[in-house]
Amino acid sequence: MPNRTFQTSSWKQNNQNKKYKIAHRRLVVTHHVATSPTKQKAPKNKNTNHNFFIALLLNKKFLKFTGLAALVGLIGFIILVLVVNSGLPNPNQLINREVAQSTKIYDRTGQNLLYEISGDQKRTLVKISDLPNYVKQATISVEDKDFYKHGGISVWAMIRTMITNIIFRRSAGGSTLTQQFVKNAILSNEKTFTRKLKEIILAIRIEQKFSKDEILQMYLNEIPYGSNAYGVEAAAQKYFKKQAKDLTIAEAAVLAALPQAPSRYSPYGPNKQLLLDRQKYILGLMAEQGYITKDQADTAKKEVIKFAPPDSNMIAPHFIMYIKDQLAEKYGEQAIEQGGLKIITTLDLYKQKIAEEVITQKTENYKTKYNASNAALVSIDPKTGQILAMVGSRDYFDDSIDGQVNIATSLRQPGSSIKPLVYATLFGKGYTPNTILFDVNTNFSNNGTPYEPHDYDLKERGPVSIRTALAGSLNIPAVKALYLAGVKNVTDLAAKFGYTTLTNPDRYGLSLVLGGGEVKMLEHVNAFGVFAREGEYHQVASILRVEDKDGKVLEEYKDQKDMVLDPKIAEEVNSILTDNAARTPIFGAKNFLTLPDRLVAAKTGTTNDFKDAWTMGFTPSLVTGVWVGNNSSVSMKKGSDGSIVAAPIWNEYMKRVLVGTPVEAFKDPGDLTTGKAVIDGESNVNRKVLINTQTNTIATSSTPPELTKEVIYTNPHCILYYVNKDDPLGPKPSDPSIDPQFPLWESAVLTWAQKNNIYASSSKLVIGDSAPTNPPQFDITGVADKDIIKDSKLNIGVNITSIADNANVEYYINNNLTYKTSVFPFTMNKTLNFLSNGYYNLKVKVCDASYNCTEKSLEFNLLLDNNYQNTPALNLISPSSGTIASASDFPLNIQLATNNYEKVTKVDLFYKDASGVNPIKSLTSVTDKIITLSWDSSPGPGTYEVYAEYYDWNNNKKTSNSITLNVN
């Protein structure tokens, strides 16, 4: 077969992609084209074009459009065709190939090269006669089933595409195989009318000059298959390490599936299953069009496809493939593989390496210990939404665990890690972390099919606060929270948080709160950034800048943010997720959800079948999620929950990457009192009450002692007894049974009460929403007025004899709040060796749910043998004096250190400038030797002196050192 050489011509215009301008440096490319090929006949297919044409003629929008534009359009079109046609080449001189240049992908510094998409094109020319028929037929069946019938273009396909794109606003392809050859080998991918017109004219002229098999041979030698493999022979070598003539039917269908979108369908990217699904679709087409039998197609569909290993020179391979997929969608395959782009990504290489190391080390024995073969980690800067680290699997190059599948962009069930979103929605309706929900076995279905979820330990805890329920990840209260919040409201908020998969509330039902809806890990992690930034959402970002080969900036990162949540609601959620004491009953005091040097917020999640285990956690500047499981969705061993398998990875990563970074504080949500008892934490279970025996009502201060009696008051009801779920702070429902869930919840509460020998008291004793207006009555126990205290540990309590038994109790020494509690029996155990010997005032304050309060005071004399006399000192340690800060650095953390924090009762932070002294922040409870106070807002440009004043237990005031801060 003779060689036919196509020389570079001067006719090719400067084709310009909308976002990328291609350089025009030409090379000569030689093609082997058969001179006398045997024409193939395609199987006969039923022609349905006449039906489409009739539908088109009846379409009013089309008739109106063509009627108005016919005359002007026809004249203009003829002129345009003549102009374009005059500049087209002789079909004997077709292919102009630009000099390919490498695209380089860097980390966020722009200095560390992560991956180079080589500009060296891998191309081996092949004769069409050397290919098995099914290799050609696989491509024809999916790309152009009428290839052997048309003359280069399909009018009907183009009209159908126009109607679909313009009228029905859906994208559809209308190019023949010949047109695709012209587009990929001769023209650019830009979507303009003139380029399309050139494509059509060239396709017709090529069909007039060459035979069908010559065109098909040129197509199969030119088409890009991804990863710089051009032509079917190079693709066969790239993906299967074999020649194209040795491909199986199944492998041929795989290669035919790639050209439509090589990056999207890459077997080395996150969408491998999409490629295999498309392969099966093509096999079906081949059978339908008569190229192979149904049995051959079925056999090929069952064939296990073994791909050659991917390139092993990638750093952060899952992230690279994620970036490559985005670039291909924006700029086209040709631009990213030949255009010499420079990509500056958001990746923090330091954090990425730590993430990879931690996952490798921590999961070394997970397969045998937990039957967990895979793990993934995503870390994001919540202030910007920028991805700092992405590990999509334990080992990208391990096919035994489907290592190329990127869990960060895959769909997985989040388990209980979705609960903060549900409770945030609930808080938005007026509920608070103190609100009481009964943790008792409940059937939530009234349609005959039971739905009765249980807590992981199968226990019932009775009345619990939302704080306890969320911190302890209790399932039954969570389902109730979802019902109260509303499934649709939760999915609406999820959309604002950036979730794109939680779009069908009717499908999930109440199981959504236990992970019934699938999410993408990348979106899940970024959603927790909304809590970290107190309600501010930042769109996920992975690219900081894209430059062309000449250094021209094609795109640059712009922060896309929106306020999607009330800051106070975020603060309420954060106050729970940072509360280690609240999670201690379930997770223990020492767990992997805390860090030694700073407060962090964290939430675990586990699916009921142990297929997915999660830990999500954050500081105000870093949010990280970890997933553990199997790509195949095989269950891990029972008990492999998020706190066991995912939390150790999360903890180690966070601990290492946060070393040496400033400690940041979470804002306190402040007073959460609403004035409604059940919302504020009242449960009406086992309360000690003084009653008037004559009236059977609450005793008052004027009730004679002989008429008072202490009783245990219990009147348990579910929350729906007290509130309208959609108006929780409104009036009590006149008929709670109107709510369809009320009978189910109420009966479950009563069953629990009976099972635990808890009986309702006399109905004449009315409490609940009608809180007593009389102040609480109590006595201080454990110490008397004027007592001499020689024991270093002070153990005191209160004996409450009124309805306020479940309210807040606060203990003050010399008017400094020392301890507060709302948990029975309200005792304070406090070591006093931080106090100097001498007289002290002790004040106890008891408040009921309506904030009726009573105070009592006494005096005690502290007389310890080994009294600790060290005088407290306080020093500013960060930032250092002379630091220069900008407005974007605020909130700015100010750190102080004390040698004896127990003797410090209050810290006031100030800054001083020419206008005088101004307060920054105060702290009235010092619990650590390192104190962090947040300077929330920039004072404006200038130089400021920053210092603190602090007080000891005797109210002596002292002043710390000062630093100079320059703000520009």
- The catalytic site residues sit at 143, 416
Rounded alpha-carbon distances, angstroms, from residue 756 to 321, 440, 476, 685, 686: 58, 11, 18, 12, 12
Q: Are 614 and 605 in contact (CB under 8 A)?
A: yes
Residues 6+ apart with CB under 8 A from 831: 792, 793, 794
φ, ψ dihedrals at 232, nearest 5°: -70, -30
Residue whose C-alpha is closest to residue 4's, from 93, 66, 80, 75: 93
Rounded CA separation 481/416 (Å): 13
Rounded CA separation 583/653 (Å): 21
**Beta strands 957-959 and 963-967: pairing type?**
unpaired
Rounded CA separation 627/378 (Å): 9
Rounded CA separation 141/589 (Å): 64
Name the DSSP class of 440: S
**Backbone dihedral region for residue 686 (phi beyond 0: left; psi -120 to 50: alpha; all else: beta):** left
Name the DSSP class of 205: H
Residue 603 half-sphere exposure toward CB, CA atoms < 13 A: 30
Residues 6+ apart with CB under 8 A from 415: 514, 515, 604, 605, 606, 607, 608, 612, 613, 614, 642
Rounded CA separation 534/197 (Å): 53
Q: Are 264 and 316 in contact (CB under 8 A)?
A: no
**Beta-carbon neighbour count of residue 312 at 10 Å?**
8
Question: Any idea how long the chain is?
Answer: 968
**Beta-carbon neighbour count of residue 77 at 10 Å?**
13
If you search the block for the tokens 């202030």, which residue do you land on?
383
**Beta-carbon neighbour count of residue 916 at 10 Å?**
7
φ, ψ dihedrals at 633, nearest 5°: 65, 20
Residues 6+ apart with CB under 8 A from 148: 39, 40, 41, 42, 140, 212
Three-state SS across 883-898?
A: EEECHHHCCEEEEEEE
Rounded CA separation 840/838 (Å): 7
Q: Are 531 and 523 in contact (CB under 8 A)?
A: no
Q: Are 789 and 863 in contact (CB under 8 A)?
A: yes
The SS3 assignment for 248 reads coil
Name the DSSP class of 870: P
- Amino acid present at 966: N
The SS3 assignment for 689 reads strand
Residue 197 half-sphere exposure toward CB, CA atoms < 13 A: 15
Residue whose C-alpha is closest to residue 861's, from 829, 837, 842, 843: 837
Rounded CA separation 588/571 (Å): 24
Rounded CA separation 914/538 (Å): 38
Q: Peptide bond before 825: cis, by omega within 30 degrees of 0?
A: yes
